[in-house]
Amino acid sequence: MQAMRILMQIAILCLFYECGKWISAYFHLPIPGSIIGMLLLFLLLLTGVIKERVLMDGAGFFLRHFSFFFLPLSVSAIVLGSYFKEFGWKLLIILIVSGLVGFVATAVSADRVVKGKEDKSHGSSH
């Protein structure tokens, strides 16, 4: 009985994935269908149309077996080891620079938001 419930919940999750793919293809959206399906599921959970307990066991199954789904990615990384030896330094530079750009952009944005709130509070007190 437990296995049937898990399979049904996984089928519901797959249905959201397929609906998202269909919406993305039908409307020619640049957003992947998996993201659209996830947003649809999120909205239905948020509004209470779907209760969390309805998908709890199926989602738990995916979380428990998460590493299994990334096994092909790990095998590919091993197979492409020579590629990483040759071009890995470029990848490392890209990762560091993009991380720093994201860090600086976040810091500047947060600083401007804080200064904007301070200016509002000082402006309204005078």
Q: Are 57 and 6 in contact (CB under 8 A)?
A: yes
Per-residue pLDDT of the chain (126 residues; tens, 9 = 90+): 889 999 999 999 999 999 999 999 999 999 999 999 999 999 999 999 999 999 999 999 888 887 777 766 667 777 777 777 888 888 889 989 999 999 999 999 999 988 888 877 776 655
Q: Which residue ranges make up each domain of the chain?
A: 1-69, 83-126
Question: Any residues with CB less than 8 A from the CB of 9 and at least 6 apart, and which?
Answer: 54, 55, 56, 57, 58, 59, 61
Q: How far is CA 112 from CA 31, 89, 102, 117, 119, in A?
A: 30, 35, 15, 9, 10
Tokens of 103: 């860090």
Distance CA 48, CA 81 (A): 47
**Residue 124: predicted pLDDT:** 61
